[in-house]
Chains A and B, each alone.
Chain A
Amino acid sequence: MTLWYEPTKTGEWLRRIFSFANLLILFMTITLMVSELRFDWCELMIGRYLASLNGSRPETGAVWKAGEQSSRAHTFLKRIIEERQNAARYAQEATSFAELASGVLPGQWANIDKDHFKRLYLAIPATAASELIPPEELIWLFGGGTLNRIFCEGKPYGLEIFFLNSENRVLRQITLNKSKMEKIEKHEAIFKGTLEQIPEFQGRIYPAEHFFKVLLALPQDIIPDLITTPQKLLNQQGTLTKAGIWNEATSGYIKLGFEFKENGKSVVLFIRAREWAVWRLSSNLTGTSLKGDPQ
């Protein structure tokens, strides 16, 4: 049975089949398909859409995993290098063997300059220095021509110091006991009495107030070279009454003395300050020593 909307004549069928709308739809469909096959615009559209989302997508997959492994390795190695660099910096800036031993932690290592080692060695009392390594041995090590570098390895008790030749062979090994060095330096750092009782400070003793006024007026970058171990002074009980400057330099350092009074008793603490910074301080302290002697 012919439906009410269907034509009854063949001509009418053909006219409807090949109507403009049908032909247009057909043409557009074919055009879309052919153009897609020819120009791949679907792929390009999807690719462009995905590219726009790239930044917000997760980093998953084999290639990112390999990247994570590289990243972990890089982090691990970076940590080792940073520790090494820190230890090297502490070693370079150490002003005493105790500081050197504190700066190079167990498991770390650092090279130390020959001249720097000499300065630290000469700064400790002769008996302690001899115990560490006899001076005649050190003379031969330094002067004999085979010593290439000095290598410090951090240990729980302090440091092992290795004197190496160019083939990394240990010529001599010495043990630096941190607590022993600290005791030596502390002993060296305290005098029970007043500044006036120490001849080496004669003519260079100042009231603490004036000393610190002048010191604090110096440029900020100089002060750490003067008060190299502030914790010593901070830990001391009592009132700071006077300060003095030692009369000679040793290995680039000059001793400063700080007199503390507590319960009627006086003690003098010593700090090693950089020579050039002391000269700068001294020139500003001119004409104002405790005894009133001109400088």
Chain B
Amino acid sequence: MKLLTILIRLTRFLIYASLAIGSVVMLIITIVIFSAAKDLPKLPEPLSRIIETPKTEIYASTGERLITLGGREPVPLSRVSPDFINAMLAVEDHMFWDHHGINKLRTLKALYITLTRPGRIEGASTITQQLAKNLFFSFERTYLRKFKEMMVAFQIEYSCTKEEILHAYINQISFGAGAQGVEKASQVFFGKSAVELTLGEAALLAGLPKSPTNYNPYRHYDKALKRRQVVIARMREAGYITENEAQEALRSRPLLHSEHADARTGSYFLDALINELVEQYGNDVVFHGGIRVTATVDSNLQYAGDQALKNGLERLDALMGLKPDAEPRPQGALVAIDPASGAVRAMIGGRDYYNSEYNRAINSRRQPGSGFKPFLYYTALEKLNFNGATVMVDSPISIPVIGSSTWEPRNFEKSYRGRMLLKQALTDSVNTIAARLVEKTGPRAVIDTAKLCGITSKLEDVYSVALGTSSVTPFEMASAYSTLASGGIRHEPFMIWRVEDAFGRVIYEHLVRGRKVLDPETTYQVVDMMKSVIDRGSGRTVREMGFTRPAAGKTGTTDSYNDAWFTGFTPNLCTAIWTGFDRNRKLKRSSQPGITGGRIASTIWAEFMGEAMKNEPSRDFSIPDGIHFEQADVTSGCSASQSSSVLTVPLKKNQHLCENPQY
């Protein structure tokens, strides 16, 4: 009896205590709910509004869509593979259709584990809770956040149908690699739409949201497959698939889309374009404004440039004797501009975007070497009334410099050839003659010419500027040479043709404005000399590679072989190529000759231009009205006799052979 009494008292105490505690807890919860409710974030109505963000689209000049920014492409559930939906439900929330916001048993189990096993946090969030978290809350892991998330989940369940919730969830969840929403993820990872996903692909995708970085199949393919095993097992347990289907899916190895590795654009041109857009319009408009941009890039040329540069740099690796895994490797840049408008047709800023996003085409300033000479020659022809037949002397030269040591430039070959025509001097890139020219014109005039053409970098007012000792970018070289290619008409380079808003209303359009900055006849005389560079001179590799169209250009190699350039043009396209190491290192193998612009950069140019121009009719440079041609003896510069070696030179109306000798 005594024992029974104690038992009953204990039982009674426990019951009353439980009731009291339970009541207090319920009271507290109710008070918290009422007080927290008014501060909870508002739920958008309808729920689909959360996924309706306008996307910015960027198109190539050739019409293809290059990239979308910011927006999402929501797809209805009917346009999503059922395997994917089943996979998501099986792995994230197999009781989705039955609960009203939380899975109580799972929550209690998770709470028990969290409380009894310190350090281990068990997840139990339903799809609705995950949706609430992604929409409103940060990733801060606190009980208060969980509580608020739960309450919002209740409201979502009350206000929306299960289909609406599932639709919102799969269209906004992040899969990593810049893919938000199942359609984007499907395109990024598999290059197909969500409705086309196979079971194996769907299960792989469904496993990513748990940890998009760790399970990114581009970086951790095996981990992604292991995670997929879990997904498929859950699908099997939930009865969505049979054992056979599960086994078949496990055996499959989904093929990833080759062109997307992560959220980066993958394109130097697009990076530069997006930067320009952000500078002009701000982040909000570019990433959330739903604008439509027509860019100047030709996607075929961009691809051709990428391939030509890659191939050329691989050849350079071989010339340098570099092993496949050697680091650092030489880099390169390519910029192609339409001289008739200034439109940037292609821009490559390095050998591999995913290894280095640094855009050397616009950010890397390097010495152009002899690539600067065309500006010098123009200045000399214009100021001094020289022409291609003007005779100069290639011999040692010393030019005193006020406040500095004497300047004694030497030829690349370290030898001198005596009298020669100016045309020959540029063809063979003779430094001593260039020095004589700049001594006569003054460096300031050469700088002015270069600036008129489109060089914007600071150029030092010294004689050696004529030999390319001031650094410039490949973009500037392409832009400046374009002025020569267009007969002296300068077109500012640009990357954007047009910007429209989401309704097609024009916000910006580019006007093609040319400005005559150089004398067309003098320009033609310089271009004629530059043609000779390709036909017979330091750029003749271009012809040896089979490029037979009328073209003009100039090689450039710095003294220390740090940089190898080739910039050249046809009447339709002007392209600058730069190669070199990012840090001071020579393009030279020990005990071997250094690698010049004519040896590597010109080959990249020829490969690219051959591909770029293949469908264009062949066209020669227009000859200005005031130009006539004469045959000049290569030694005297006078009219050629029958037996002498001759060069054909263009002359202006007031110019004649055999006048103004410079010896």
* A46 interface residue per 8 A CB criterion: yes
Give me 28 A-to-B residue pairs in the complex whose CB atoms sit less than 8 angstroms apart, sorted by A's number.
A6-B5, A40-B101, A46-B33, A46-B151, A47-B156, A47-B159, A48-B158, A50-B155, A51-B155, A51-B159, A56-B38, A57-B39, A57-B40, A57-B41, A57-B42, A60-B136, A66-B53, A67-B44, A69-B287, A70-B290, A72-B288, A73-B290, A74-B289, A76-B284, A76-B289, A151-B511, A162-B513, A168-B510
B401 to chain A, nearest CB (A): 44
For B505, list chain A residues within 8 Å (CB).
Answer: 81, 84
Interface size class of A (residues with CB under 8 A): 35 or more
Supplied contacts A47-B157, A57-B40, A170-B511, 7 more A-B pairs, CB within 8 Å: A43-B158, A49-B37, A51-B155, A53-B38, A56-B38, A70-B53, A164-B511
Interface residues of A (CB under 8 A from B): 2, 6, 10, 13, 17, 37, 40, 43-44, 46-51, 53-64, 66-67, 69-70, 72-74, 76-77, 80-81, 84, 151, 162, 164, 167-170, 173
A77 with B501: CB separation less than 8 A: yes
Q: Which residue of A lies closest to B491 (CB)?
A: A169
Main secondary structure of the interface of A (DSSP, over half): helix
On whether the beta carbons of B104 and A77 are closer than 8 Å, the reply is no
- B550 contacts the other chain (Cβ, under 8 Å)? no
B564, chain A: closest CB distance, angstroms = 36
Among B101, B283, B291, B341, max chain A CB count under 10 A is at B101
Q: Does B307 contact A (CB under 8 A)?
A: no
Number of chain B residues whose Cβ lies closer than 8 Å to a Cβ of chain A? 57
Q: Does B509 contact A (CB under 8 A)?
A: yes
Residues in B93-119 with C-beta less than 8 Å from chain A = 99-102, 104
A80 CB contacts on chain B under 8 angstroms: 507
> How many angstroms from the CA of A84 to the CA of B289 in the assembled complex?
18
Q: Report the Cα distance A165→B155, complex, angstroms.
A: 59
- Say if the beta carbon of B154 comes within 8 Å of chain A: yes
Q: Judge whether B158 and A59 touch: CB under 8 Å.
A: no
Residue of A13, A44, A168 near B158 (CB, 8 A) is A44
B5 engages A50 (CB within 8 Å) = no
Best-surrounded residue of B135, B155, B501 (most CB of chain A within 10 A): B155
| Chain A residue contacts of B40, Cβ below 8 A | 50, 57
Partner of A76, one of B155, B157, B281, B510: B281
Nearest B residue to A29 by beta-carbon distance? Answer: B19
A47 to chain B, nearest CB (A): 3
User: B513 to A173, Cβ gap below 8 A?
Assistant: yes
User: Given A51-B158, A56-B38, A66-B53 in contact, is the A168-B5 Cβ separation under 8 Å?
Assistant: no
Note all chain A residues with C-beta closer than 8 A to B513.
Answer: 162, 170, 173
Nearest neighbor of A61 in chain B, beta-carbon distance? B136
Residues of chain B in range 1-24 having any CB-CB distance to chain A below 8 Å: 1, 4-5, 8
Q: A47-B100, A70-B54, A70-B289 are in contact. Are A54 and B42 (CB under 8 A)?
A: yes
Min CB distance A65 to B, Å, is 10
- B134: chain A residues at CB < 8 Å are 62
How many Å lie between the Cα of A144 and that of B291 in the bound state?
36
In the complex, which residues of chain A have a beta carbon less than 8 angstroms from the beta carbon of B50?
63
Could you tell me the distance in whole angstroms from the C-beta of B166 to the nearest C-beta in chain A?
17
Within 8 A of A (CB), among B446-471: none
B42:A59 contact, CB within 8 angstroms: yes
- Residues of B participating in the A interface, judged by any CB pair closer than 8 Å: 1, 4-5, 8, 33, 37-45, 50, 53-54, 99-102, 104, 134-138, 151-152, 154-159, 281-285, 287-291, 341, 497, 501, 505-507, 509-514
User: Is the CB–CB distance between A63 and B289 below 8 Å?
Assistant: no
Give the distance to chain A from B350, nearest Cβ to Cβ, in Å.
Answer: 31
A43-B101, A63-B135, A73-B284 known; A50-B37 Cβ under 8 A = yes
Asked if residues A13 and B4 are in contact (CB atoms below 8 Å), the reply is yes
- Would A43 and B102 count as touching, CB distance under 8 A? yes
Q: Are B512 and A167 touching (Cβ within 8 A)?
A: yes
* Residues of chain A with a CB closer than 8 A to B4's CB: 10, 13
A63 to chain B: which residues have CB within 8 Å?
44, 50, 135-136
Task: Provide the residues of chain A in CB contact with B281, threshold 8 Å.
Answer: 76
CA distance A84 to B508 in the complex (A): 10
B39 touches A73 (CB 8 A): no
B135's partner among A56, A62, A168 (CB-CB below 8 A) is A62
Which A residues touch B283, using CB under 8 A?
A: 69
A48 nearest in chain B by CB position: B158
Q: Is there an interface contact between A43 and B100, defined as CB atoms closer than 8 Å? A: yes
- Check A77 against B289 for contact (C-beta < 8 Å): yes
B501, A47: Cβ atoms under 8 Å? Answer: no
**In whole Å, how far is B432's beta carbon from the nearest beta carbon of chain A?**
43
B154 contacts A43, C-beta separation under 8 Å: yes
Please report the C-alpha to C-alpha distance between residue A57 and residue B135 in the assembled complex, in whole angstroms. Answer: 15
Tell me which residues across on chain B come within 8 A of A17, comparing CB atoms. 8
Knowing A43-B101, A76-B289 are in contact, say whether A61-B41 is a contact too (CB < 8 A): yes
Interchain nearest-CB distance for B611 vs A (Å): 24
The 8 A-B residue pairs with the shortest CB-CB distance, nearest first, are A47-B158, A61-B136, A73-B289, A47-B154, A50-B155, A40-B100, A43-B100, A61-B41
Question: Once the chains are docked, how many angstroms separate the CA of A151 from the CA of B512?
Answer: 12
Using Cβ atoms and an 8 Å threshold, which residues of chain A touch B100?
40, 43-44, 47
Interfacial chain B residues near A76, Cβ < 8 Å: 281-282, 284-285, 289
Taking the nearest CB of chain B, how far is it from the CB of A286, in angstroms? 49
Say which residue of A53, A81, A151 sits within 8 Å of B501 (CB atoms). A81
**Do the beta carbons of A57 and B284 come within 8 Å of each other?**
no
**CB-contact partner of B284 in A2, A72, A164, under 8 A:** A72
Task: Report B-chain residues with C-beta under 8 Å of the C-beta of A151.
Answer: 511
Distance in Å: Cβ of A11 to nearest Cβ of chain B: 12
Q: Using known A-B contacts A63-B135, A63-B136, A81-B505, determine if residue A58 contacts B42 with beta carbons closer than 8 Å.
A: yes
B226, chain A: closest CB distance, angstroms = 30
Measured CA separation A40–B157 after assembly (Å): 11
In the bound assembly, the distance between CA atoms of A76 and B280 in angstroms comes to 12
Q: How far is the CA of A70 from the CA of B54 in the complex (A)?
A: 8
- Contacts known (A43-B101, A46-B151); A61 close to B135, Cβ less than 8 A: yes
Complex Cα distance, B283 from A73, in Å, reads 9
Question: Does the CB pair A170–B155 fall under 8 Å?
Answer: no
Which residues of A have CB within 8 Å of B509?
168
Complex formed: what's the CA distance from A57 to B33 in Å? 14
B157 contacts A170, C-beta separation under 8 Å = no
Nearest-CB residue, chain A, relative to B172: A63
- A190–B513 Cα gap in the complex (Å)? 39
Contact call B288/A46, Cβ cutoff below 8 A: no
> How far apart are B64's CB and chain A's nearest CB, in angstroms?
20
Residue from the set B497, B511, B514 with the largest chain A CB neighbour count within 10 Å: B511
CA distance A170 to B100 in the complex (A): 65
A15 to chain B, nearest CB (A): 12
Q: Kindly state the separation between the CA atoms of A55 and B283 in the bound complex, as whole angstroms.
A: 30
Known: A44-B158, A54-B43, A151-B511. A2 touches B285 (CB 8 A): no
* Residue from A59, A62, A151 with most neighbouring chain B CB atoms (10 Å): A62
Output the nearest chain B residue to A50 by Cβ-Cβ distance: B155
B residues near A56, Cβ cutoff 8 Å: 38
**Cα separation A40 to B103 with both chains bound (whole Å):** 10
Taking a contact as CB atoms closer than 8 A, the residue among A13, A51, A164 that contacts B8 in the complex is: A13
Identify the interface centre among A13, A37, A73, A164: most chain B CB within 10 Å of its CB.
Answer: A73
- A73's nearest neighbour on chain B, judged by CB, is B289
A37 and B282 alpha carbons, distance in the complex (Å): 52
A47 near B1: Cβ-Cβ < 8 Å: no
The distance in angstroms between the C-alpha atoms of A151 and B570, with both chains bound, is 31
CA distance A10 to B288 in the complex (A): 78
Known interface pairs A43-B101, A63-B44, A72-B284; A54-B155 also in contact (CB < 8 Å) = yes
Instruction: Say whether, besides A43-B157, A70-B54, A64 and B41 are in contact (CB < 8 Å).
Output: yes
In the assembled complex, the Cα of A130 lies from the Cα of B552 at a distance in Å of 42
- Considering only CB atoms, which chain B residue lies closest to A75 in the complex? B284
Q: State the Cβ distance, A229 to closest chain B Cβ, in Å.
A: 31
Q: A40, B99: Cβ atoms under 8 Å?
A: yes
**List of A residues within 8 angstroms of B151 by Cβ:** 46, 50
B288 adjacent to A66 (CB under 8 Å): yes
The 8 Å CB contact of A168, one of B284, B501, B512, is B512
Cβ–Cβ contact B136 & A46, under 8 A:
no
